[in-house]
Structure 1
Amino acid sequence: MTRARKGRPEPDQDGPAEESVPRRLLSVATKLFADKGFDRTSVQEVVEAAGVTKGAMYHYFDSKDDLLYEIYARVLREQTDQLERVAGSDAPLRERLSTAASDVVVSSIANLDDTKIFMQSMHQLSPEKQKGVRAERRKYHERFRALVEDGQRSGEFRTDKPAEVIVDFFFGAVHHLGFWYHQGGSMSARQVADHFADLLLSSLRSD
Structure 2
Amino acid sequence: MGPTSVADDVRRAAVELFAAQGYANTAVQQIVEAAGVTKGAMYHYFESKDELLFGIYDRLLSMQKSRMDDIIARGGQTDDVVRAVCVDVVETSIDSLREGTVFFRSAHMLSAPRQLEVTRRRREYHDAFAVLLERGQAEGLYRTDIPSAVLIAHFFSDTHYLPQWYSPDGPETTTVVAGQLTELFLRSIRV
| TM superposition score normalised by structure 2 | 0.96
1:25 deviates by 0.3
Aligned equivalents of 1:121, 1:157: Cα separation in 2: 35
Which residue among 92, 100, 103 is the counterpart of 1:115?
100
Identical pairs, percent: 40
Aligned equivalents of 1:39, 1:199: Cα separation in 2: 37
Aligned ranges 1:1-207 → 2 under 5 Å: 16-206=1-191
C-alpha RMSD of matched pairs (Å): 1.0
* Structure 1 SS opposite 2:146: coil
Aligned equivalents of 1:71, 1:147: Cα separation in 2: 27
1:19 deviates by 1.4
Aligned equivalents of 2:31, 2:169: Cα separation in 1: 29
1:88 deviates by 2.1
1:193 deviates by 0.4
Aligned equivalents of 2:117, 2:7: Cα separation in 1: 21
Structure showing greater radius of gyration is: 1
Aligned equivalents of 1:176, 1:90: Cα separation in 2: 29
Question: Which is helix-richer, 1 or 2?
Answer: 2
Unaligned runs of 5+ in 1: 1-15
Aligned pairs, number: 191
Aligned equivalents of 2:19, 2:176: Cα separation in 1: 27
| TM superposition score normalised by structure 1 | 0.89
Unaligned runs of 5+ in 2: none
